[in-house]
Structure 1
């Protein structure tokens, strides 16, 4: 029998986890992992948390030490961009012209920072985006000495985590956001205001409901210009306005792309393109059909990359896979640690039920829909309370109705709801 070759395109968590799972499941064939960056595959959360804050060294984000790949017969090729995917002939074309044949291929190409228009946001010294380890390293160096005027464009997760790290180094920090409160899109007004108050207490100047028109400076950035003409002086500017999936390879290959590479619940490419049945996608680049939601979902968070990478590997091996996990992420900002599980798509129109005293800084928030005697929990967030997220996740996944009074009752274990 001809040896099978599974090719993984992308050197992030999804790709590395897929390679790990293939070997753990006993796949005897060839595994080639093509990493576009000249880095050992790594995870991204530390880039805006521990590594950025100076609490971790450069090797800390690695999924495995580099030696793991050779020890497990995974052909890791660092700094190897893929120029073309050819599903019809089952091959990928590398940047050096090599044509690499595959039996099955996994697209784990991730996402890139959303860039603002170059004509008003030129590439000046002191302007940073944050997506890669190299970018995090450069931003850490810019923040580490303290005493800088740091302006962050974007009041989402990246913006707030960078703000916390920058304040930790002793910098003056201003956050600019379009919404009424930080994280309003992700968490709603109530919990967004909670995070806003956290940052204000820690000396961050929050400027909400503002529009940013462009950057000031020649050579190096000197300020951020608002739509009303005001200029906020800056030595360092961080732009954190979201991410876009790296789906160009799939698009050029004729695969279905709609806000990511469209795949079914088994993480196999959808569509009629020849050879699509042997193409899979996982992680930030994948728009996967979610059986619970009944529609496609793309998630940028690390847990999704890890879980989908493993699920895609099992699917490639022929297992009956239906990826239905509840989305999860976490954050650390100042003295706040938080885990969140839930369906953002179902949170619109929901109401928040609290368990514990919010003012104490230790509480759980549940987003619920439906009547008070049989409410469905669609999302949950535990703040500075640990070892409860698995129970919250299970409650959300069950879809069962729960009395709101029991949700709020500290004497009722979450696992008993």
Structure 2
């Protein structure tokens, strides 16, 4: 185990020297006198789960993998090539990046629920989730949830259907099949236009969150809810699969998707158009302040033994080495504020600035200060 406190004094001195030269206010070292997840060995860690957060996490992992760390043994043929130099050979003093040069990678999406289950079963090292912790009875006492951003869920239609406003009650009546005609819902629309609500893959966090907003146990359960021609429900956020399905009626269909994905990826949204919900438009501002009715957090999920909160700080406690330690440090990197990041080795920007660009590129909103409990994240422990 490498103690962060051992390098803290050297780091502080280096910061003071830099500040004196550049006239800048120094960033403090990470306040972890009890140790870290570093062990001077590169570990490969793998994440799985949400489609909605897949692109963000790929961008985040790239920045983490690029982050500065220890000086490495680069001797060809050495048994420890690529690992951290130790003792007096180690010249690096900045412990704010990815010290071990661990490398993180995300598997192709399977859905939030499937990813969390893979984590619990030991098949992956961390998970992506676009739905909140399950709560009592959900069987999640072994995992922790770290919200790092916000998203909305938007209701969309296609073709020549004119958008307007739908209430939560109206949306519930569409997906429970008690209202089946567009003429019943929108003023000036003639009767005889049968609403075609589409379902979503069962493991999707976007499905689970949407049905919670509507007060339905299963948004796929209604007899009127459509599957694809192959007999399965469509994967979330990708309109292309609807457009190519023989049963898709563009002018009558209605679906829902991530607002972040809608904004960021035109190829996935195709010709989808967004409706108001309860008279409120989805926007970055309405998602950030929660005034948009269908607002949610997006989550990074870890095993409790690997990463857990250190009271109300940005510091992360947990495993002291191996893959668990690597997950601990990955989580702390995700949740720490701007003053605790070093510069990206490729751009010269701070890694916090690099991550800000990824939020923008993938459509998500950073957590506002009021929602944060640990650094820039909101921490929530899973329960049995």
Per the normalisation by structure 2, the TM-score is 0.34
Which has the higher relative contact order, 1 or 2, with Cα contacts under 8 A spaced 6 or more apart?
2
Per the normalisation by structure 1, the TM-score is 0.32
